[in-house]
Amino acid sequence: MSKKSTASLSPDTEAILLLCGRFGSERGETSLANPAPLTQKEYERLTKWLLECKLRPSDLLGGDLAGRLSDLVHAGLERARVESLMARGTALALALEKWQRSGLWVLSRSDAAYPKRLKKKLGQSTPPLLYGAGEISLLDGGGLAVVGSRNASEAALEFTRDVARACARDGLGVVSGGAKGVDVAAMQSAGEAGGVTIGVLAADLLRASVNRQNRMGIQSGQLVLTSPFNPEAGFNAGNAMARNRYIYALADYALVVDSAEGEGGTWAGATENLRHAWTPLYVRTPGESSGNAALIAKGAQGFAYEVSEHASIREFLEKTCQFDTSSLFQPIVPVGGIATTEQPKSSPAPVGVVAAPKPENAAEAAPLAGLDMFQDFLVRLPLLLGNGSRNDEEIRLALGLEKGQLRVWLAAAVEQGFLEKRKKPVSYALPRQQALC
């Protein structure tokens, strides 16, 4: 492999690119000589194995690779496939040289510059790799995610432009997906008004990075484009759906301008965000589409902000948000082996969150209500579990939750990597290893 071409990569990132990256076209049949890169779930299994072996991804570069992979079967991966992936040095060097000529960068979640927001909100679902163009630090700047239909009405698009210009005026970033319709209207209007814009793309990152208008925004420091997918990948419906979570996770607040009910990427992304409580969700009210009212019925907030020169959209969001945002971006400290926000036992419940009641009889505890409190639930888990484990009934009684609500939150906490579900007997504990590599 050309050392010159990979000099800008950390050793861990180089290894993760070899394991998970796609170089050039994504098409073509796979074989032993041309193996399929690891999927995110496969990489998670490999990460668990590496941690158990006290290894880093970079330890797979060079040296006695065969010896290190002798126990790889425990990760459910074929040794020959991993060896073939790690041998793609020439293809990596050529792809990296092409990307760098267009001003692209590559980060792995082992890099210090990797967005902390993604790690904190998504946990083990954080993508192993991020590609992008522009100032990386903008990715941790937050802002308002603005999303909506590709076929939005002109009234919806004008509303979007007004909101984006208000964000620029108030120094609030705009996060969106770069698709035609609402996404493009939001990003262009924020940029033209001098605001900061984060574009999370599902396809064609390389092409978008050299677009004349985008280059102007990138060079001025107002725009950063990013994607967890191959920079040369064309449109793929699965990728378009999958990137929605990254839009929400990079924002402080989210606004759905227009959504069809029960179908399409906007609806899928919004309902996924409501399930996982990544970001407080607002919905334009009223909207032309039935999906707007349906999202509010599912727990989103109506967006009653009226754009004017004297009305601050930042202040509106801060005052009306019913979601606990105060604890989302505090410094991370290790508690029982899991990264979480620092929350002393004696601290009061954050603004917007109702503290769990403390009745004399725990069995009579009133339930906590609303997905808005999922983040508070996550904060309380390390204090409750410590280094031990508890079954679902013990957790329910301790936190005063209804069985149905607890079941949903426990499943989400396990999926996002905040909890381990143990068997025989079934119980829940903090992960033994929470490091992301």
99-132 tens-digit pLDDT: 999 999 999 998 999 999 999 899 878 999 999 9
| pLDDT confidence of residue 31 | 59
Q: Is the confidence at residue 239, as pLDDT, over 60?
A: yes
Q: Does domain 332-429 have CATH number 1.10.10?
A: yes
Give the rounded percent of residues in the chain with a pLDDT score beyond 90: 52
Looking at residue 350, its pLDDT comes to: 30
Overall average pLDDT of the 283-302 stretch: 90
List, in sequence order, every residue forming a beta bridge with 420; answer none if it has no partner: 429
Kindly state the average pLDDT of the residues 408-422: 85
Angstrom distance (rounded) from CA 379 to CA 345: 10
Domain ranges of the chain: 3-101, 119-320, 332-429
Strands (E) in 149-236, as ranges, are 174-176, 197-200, 223-227
Region class of 2: left (phi > 0), else alpha (psi between -120 and 50), else beta = beta
Show Cβ contacts of residue 123 under 8 Å, excluding neighbours closer than 6 positions. Answer: 416, 417, 418
Which of 160-169, 206-215, 300-309 shows the lowest per-residue confidence on average (mean pLDDT)?
Answer: 300-309
pTM of the model: 0.75
327: tokens are 């604890």
> Residue range 221-230: average pLDDT?
96
Cβ-in-10-Å burial (0-12, 13-18, 19+) of 38 comes to buried
Q: In what side-by-side order are the strands of the sheet with 129-134?
A: 105-108, 129-134, 223-227, 197-200, 174-176, 144-147, 253-256, 281-284, 301-303
Average pLDDT, the chain: 82
Omega within 30 of 0 (cis) for the link into 359: no
CATH number for the domain formed by residue range(s) 119-320: 3.40.50.450
* pLDDT band at residue 435 under the 50/70/90 scheme: low
* pLDDT at site 72: 81
- The size of the chain, in residues, is 437
pLDDT value of residue 322: 67
| pLDDT for residue 237 | 86
Name the least confident of 155-159, 207-211, 383-387.
383-387
Alpha helices in 277-353 (DSSP H): 290-297, 313-320
